[in-house]
Amino acid sequence: MRVVRHRCLWLVASLLILCSGSLTADVAGSSDYAGFQRFPGSEIVDYRTENSTIYPLALGRMQRVTGSVSASESERLQGHLRRITYAIPDGFGAEEVYNHFRSQLLSVGQRELFACQGRGCGSSNYWANDHFNNRILYGPEAGQYYMASTFQSQSNGEEVLGYAALYVVRRGNRRLYAHLDFLELAGAQAEQQRADVLTTAQAMQLRLEDSGVIVIPGISFDDNDVLTEDQGLTLLADVLQRDALLELHLVGHMQEEGDGQGQLQLLQQRSLQRAEAVRQRLVELGVDEDRLEAHGVGPLAPYCRPGPCQQRIEAVVR
């Protein structure tokens, strides 16, 4: 009887050891994202995928406005989403973990679109429960880091382009977590969507430095060519204030829908009027008028990068 009892105790102890080992394993069906290494000793505690979803890429601090929680700036994008949450072993700092993932995301010439830390990111509660939909990421504001960037990887021998969101937070119980959202863009959409993300002054400045021209986002005109929306000009003015040597041509483009025959002079005049309105608004925002020149070419330059082409204002480095 005593031998049987000892054998039972041994069996129970062995099962406990096996079970305790399984508690440290990744959640079922999860994996690291291809080409990205987890922080040493960490484990995946939450893993989700969503196919062909609309994703709001946060490009500003999280806030509540008129009862709705959202980032102060964001870009809505469509793609395949993979969400990975890691539990980090004890003894490491949030900044160390953040830099581990950040350095990988920004390799191969990728771009940081927005970053914040601490209270500058807004409410951790909003990030955890409203944006990432994962309450395990809720912690004190002082212990959080966030970055949005482009990313590039390889999958089955093919290049994958998209956007990534990195969030690191230390909870009130001192446990540290790192969360990654990878939004994969499909085929031809990849370069097209990535080309259009100019919703921060930093992203706009990088594009101007890289290609020398942008289609100014966030502006619109009424039928009388009066400027009615100028959010993008606030960003552009910020870029010009950051770089005191930057000078721009503001080039108005207009294409008549239909045949448009015989209207060349009219379209050139209207496109110049719109470019002048943009120039005047930038001067009102504090930009030296000598750094800006307005031009109107009407329909004479129909090609543009992905984005609105019929009626647009381009900023071209002078």
What is the predicted pLDDT for the residue at 127? 97
Residues 6+ apart with CB under 8 A from 201: 235, 236, 238, 239, 242
Tokens 């940081």 found at? 112
pLDDT band at 147 (very low <50, low <70, confident <90, very high): very high
pLDDT tens digits, 71-124: 887 877 888 999 999 999 999 999 999 999 999 998 866 778 889 999 999 999
Boundaries of every domain in the chain? 26-193, 201-317
Identity of the residue numbered 54: I
Which residues face 63 on adjacent strands? 70
Handedness of CA 57, 59, 61, 66 (dihedral sign): negative
What is the Cα 100 distance to its own chain's centre? 19
* Position 130 pLDDT exceeds 60: yes
Question: In what helix (H) or strand (E) does residue 52 lie, and over which residues does it extend?
Answer: strand 43-58
Domain 201-317 top-level CATH class:
alpha beta
- Mean pLDDT within 264-280: 94
Any idea what DSSP says for residue 285? T
What is the predicted pLDDT for the residue at 126? 96
- Whole-angstrom CA distances from 70 to 62, 125, 177 are 6, 12, 22
Kindly tell me the burial class for residue 163, based on how many C-beta atoms sit within 10 Å of its own C-beta (0-12, 13-18, 19 or more): buried
Tokens 């080992």 found at? 21
* Position 62 pLDDT exceeds 90: yes
pLDDT tens digits, 198-245: 667 877 887 788 778 888 877 888 889 999 888 889 989 999 998 999
Cα distance between residue 11 and residue 148, in whole Å: 50
Angle at 36 between CA 31 and CA 40, to 5 degrees: 80
* Position 2 pLDDT exceeds 70: no
Question: Token pair of 264, please?
Answer: 């060349």
